[in-house]
């Protein structure tokens, strides 16, 4: 029996108690909210850590507890939390869990129990990571790349407990991500409803689908690195650790290859950029199309671009290692692949712009964030072209130009989509609208603020200001003006950090007190907005699964008065709508 038909006849794992409904829930929507809240919580910690770092850089010595070790620990935890525990978890675990079954017309993920386990493993990973704040020596201060030999050598903060907890946490996270990824991919492949062809899926699903495949293939590289480093640290092996004299003593290691770690790490690390970016691409496509009341331009091109980016992202990793020493031909190869991957990426940007062209653009809060994403991603992407070239990268390596680049492209840009996505789907999740004024205030402070933070960093980088320094005073090559700029950046960073409370307050207040949103406040055509209940109840679709007749982007269709046609409208119903619209127009002409 086809899965879609079987899903109609079988009893669902209906939750019976508070515990099974909200805690040990197997419902993808509850798991999505659990993932999202946990990720936002841990993300807030990362924001606080970044503000503490900025205080030290902008106003050196202003925080009594901020010594060099604390600074490096804050830096490491900020980076790792943002990349892995916030962005990856939120895009795949949060948006992926909520949107995939609803957008493809399924009742739930295909392995609901494994899906539940995925969240609890993720939570365990977060708990293990955060526990490193409370162990002797504190968390690791090795930098988020955890390069050996320094990461497990004496003198690095958190070398006793912190690094072990970080590696164990990562391993647990990867188990969680694998369980989630298997669910997302199998659900897309197997549980789509009647008529939901792969080329009728919204681009959000395509982005999350491809990112999940990439996560399944790339995270093992991080797992391998983590396990081998744990062996080096705990069992004294020499996978990565070379012969070393540390604090005057010859260590037991010999012959290990730190470069091998770098290759493994970046074989994961670069696809990770796109594991975050592809869902963002998908979500932003849907946001732009919906709020510009126009079908996405070049849908098939967009899908193939997602696939091409996913594949190419596995052959560019060594552009993170130009200064590690490599055969010049390898450098040339990786520079070329880096430039090639810019082609499908640029294609997406063009298509977003062409979607906007002559659209009926509604500057709603989600749309503002989507537009801000395009600009920010463009800026971050262009500086990526600089750094992708060996000859430009080498002088800029380890400067604030790099910090500015990856924060724009990998930090701010996806976070803008996170905000846009949350504002867009919040009415479906809660059934209520957020406060528009607060939302716009949040947008403008965040958007302008992040530019005020990261734009000047490009300039600082060109001036030669190195990254990862605890204190920048008394260096002849760093002028006083750089310090003034750092103070300015810090003030803005604190403002942007505090302004996120607006967002949290808006969500928390609106979830209970916001105006009722109705089932489809944006007039969106995709399937998740066509559920019989808002918020969708357990099983999503009532007695019968929806039948899909068209893609998710039928906006402003000629001859139809309503400016969107839901995916569930059949050709007969569409014809009926045409006739009604024609009748209305004739009546208008007569009057």
Catalog residues that contact other proteins under the rule CB under 8 A. Answer: 1-6, 110-111, 178, 181-182, 185-186, 189-200, 216-217, 220-221, 223-224, 227-228, 231, 235-239, 252, 254-257, 260, 263-264, 267, 294-295, 297-300, 354-355, 357, 547-551, 553-558
Q: What are phi and psi of 97, to 5 degrees?
A: -65, -40
Residue matched to tokens 């939901």: 196
d(CA 497, CA 281): 25
In the complex, least distance from residue 521 CB atom to other proteins, rounded to whole angstroms: 22
Which residue, 196, 183, 168, 198, is CA-closest to 35?
A: 183
Rank residues 114 and 385 by Cβ distance to other proteins and give the closer one: 114
Cα three-residue angle 255-261-265, rounded to 5 degrees: 180
In the complex, least distance from residue 410 CB atom to other proteins, rounded to whole angstroms: 23
Rank residues 493 and 552 by Cβ distance to other proteins and give the closer one: 552
Cα three-residue angle 458-273-461, rounded to 5 degrees: 15
Q: Who's near 43: CB < 8 A, 6+ residues apart? A: 81, 82, 85, 86, 90
138: left (phi over 0), alpha (psi -120 to 50) or beta: left
In the complex, least distance from residue 125 CB atom to other proteins, rounded to whole angstroms: 17
Give the residue ranges of DSSP H helices in 357-435.
365-388, 390-396, 400-406, 413-430
d(CA 405, CA 403): 6
Rank residues 31 and 482 by Cβ distance to other proteins and give the closer one: 31
Rank residues 260 and 385 by Cβ distance to other proteins and give the closer one: 260
Residue matched to tokens 């808006």: 506
Rank residues 248 and 255 by Cβ distance to other proteins and give the closer one: 255
CB atoms within 10 A of CB 333: 16
Instruction: State the burial class of residue 248 (Cβ atoms within 10 Å of its Cβ: 0-12, 13-18, 19+).
Output: exposed
Q: Who's near 349: CB < 8 A, 6+ residues apart? A: 374, 377, 378, 381
Rank residues 226 and 312 by Cβ distance to other proteins and give the closer one: 226
Rank residues 299 and 419 by Cβ distance to other proteins and give the closer one: 299
In the complex, least distance from residue 97 CB atom to other proteins, rounded to whole angstroms: 16
In the complex, least distance from residue 254 CB atom to other proteins, rounded to whole angstroms: 5
Rank residues 529 and 553 by Cβ distance to other proteins and give the closer one: 553
In the complex, least distance from residue 526 CB atom to other proteins, rounded to whole angstroms: 13
Q: Which DSSP symbol is given to 238?
A: -
In the complex, least distance from residue 42 CB atom to other proteins, rounded to whole angstroms: 25
Chain CA centroid to CA 176, Å: 16
Work out the angle between the directed axes of helices 258-291 and 328-356 (0-180°, nearest 10): 10
Question: Considering Cα of 583, then 584, then 586, then 591, what sign does the dihedral take?
Answer: positive
Cα three-residue angle 293-103-578, rounded to 5 degrees: 45
d(CA 5, CA 106): 11
In the complex, least distance from residue 121 CB atom to other proteins, rounded to whole angstroms: 14
Query: Residue 542: helix, strand or coil by DSSP?
Result: coil
In the complex, least distance from residue 468 CB atom to other proteins, rounded to whole angstroms: 27
In the complex, least distance from residue 40 CB atom to other proteins, rounded to whole angstroms: 28
Rank residues 95 and 551 by Cβ distance to other proteins and give the closer one: 551
Rank residues 256 and 420 by Cβ distance to other proteins and give the closer one: 256
């Amino acid at each position: 029996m086809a899965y879609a038909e079987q899903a109609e006849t079988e009893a669902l794992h209906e939750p019976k108690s508070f515990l099974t409904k909200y805690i040990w829930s197997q419902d993808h929507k509850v798991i999505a909210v659990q993932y999202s809240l946990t990720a936002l919580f841990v993300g807030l910690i990362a924001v606080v850590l970044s503000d503490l770092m900025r205080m030290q850089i902008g106003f050196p010595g202003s925080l009594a507890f901020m010594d060099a070790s604390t600074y490096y620990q804050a830096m490491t935890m900020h980076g790792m939390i943002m990349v892995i525990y916030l962005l990856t978890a939120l895009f795949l675990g949060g948006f992926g869990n909520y949107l995939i079954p609803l957008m493809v017309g399924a009742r739930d993920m295909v392995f609901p129990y494994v899906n539940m386990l995925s969240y609890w493993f993720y939570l365990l990973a977060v708990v293990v990571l955060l526990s490193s704040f409370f162990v002797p020596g504190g968390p690791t201060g090795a930098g988020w790349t955890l390069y050996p030999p320094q990461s497990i050598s004496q003198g690095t903060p958190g070398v006793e407990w912190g690094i072990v907890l970080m590696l164990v946490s990562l391993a647990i996270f990867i188990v969680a991500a694998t369980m989630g990824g298997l669910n997302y991919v199998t659900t897309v492949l197997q549980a789509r409803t009647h008529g939901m062809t792969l080329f009728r899926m919204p681009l959000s699903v395509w982005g999350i689908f491809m990112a999940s495949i990439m996560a399944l293939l790339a995270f093992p590289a991080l797992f391998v690195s983590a396990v081998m480093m744990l062996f080096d640290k705990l069992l004294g092996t020499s996978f990565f650790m070379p012969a070393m004299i540390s604090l005057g003593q010859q260590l037991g290691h010999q012959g290990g290859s730190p470069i091998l770690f770098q290759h493994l790490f970046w074989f994961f690390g670069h696809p990770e950029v796109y594991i975050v970016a592809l869902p963002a691409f998908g979500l932003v496509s849907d946001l732009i199309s919906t709020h510009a009341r126009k079908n996405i331009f070049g849908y098939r091109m967009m899908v193939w671009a997602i696939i091409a980016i996913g594949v190419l992202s596995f052959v560019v990793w060594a552009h993170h290692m130009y200064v590690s020493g490599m055969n010049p031909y390898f450098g040339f190869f990786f520079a070329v692949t880096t430039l090639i991957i810019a082609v499908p990426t640029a294609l997406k940007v063009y298509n977003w712009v062409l979607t906007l062209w002559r659209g009926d653009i509604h500057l709603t809060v989600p749309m503002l964030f989507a537009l801000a994403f395009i600009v920010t991603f463009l800026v971050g992407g262009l500086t990526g072209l600089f750094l992708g070239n060996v000859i430009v990268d080498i002088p800029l390596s380890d400067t604030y130009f790099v910090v500015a680049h990856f924060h724009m492209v990998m930090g701010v840009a996806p976070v803008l989509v996170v905000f846009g996505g949350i504002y867009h789907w919040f009415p479906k999740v809660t059934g209520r609208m957020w406060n528009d004024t607060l939302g716009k205030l949040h947008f403008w402070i965040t958007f302008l603020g992040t530019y005020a933070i990261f734009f000047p960093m490009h300039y600082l980088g060109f001036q030669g200001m190195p990254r990862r320094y605890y204190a920048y005073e008394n260096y002849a090559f760093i002028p006083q003006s750089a310090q003034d700029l750092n103070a300015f950046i810090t003030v803005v960073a604190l403002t942007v950090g505090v302004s996120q409370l607006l967002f949290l307050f808006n969500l928390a207040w609106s979830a209970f007190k916001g105006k009722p949103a109705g089932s489809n406040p944006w007039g969106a055509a995709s399937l998740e907005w066509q559920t019989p209940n808002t918020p969708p109840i357990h099983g999503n679709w009532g007695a019968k699964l929806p039948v899909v007749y068209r893609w998710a982007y039928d906006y402003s269709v000629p001859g139809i008065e309503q400016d969107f046609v839901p995916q569930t409208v059949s050709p007969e119903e569409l014809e009926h709508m045409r006739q009604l619209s024609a009748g209305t127009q004739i009546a208008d002409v007569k009057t």
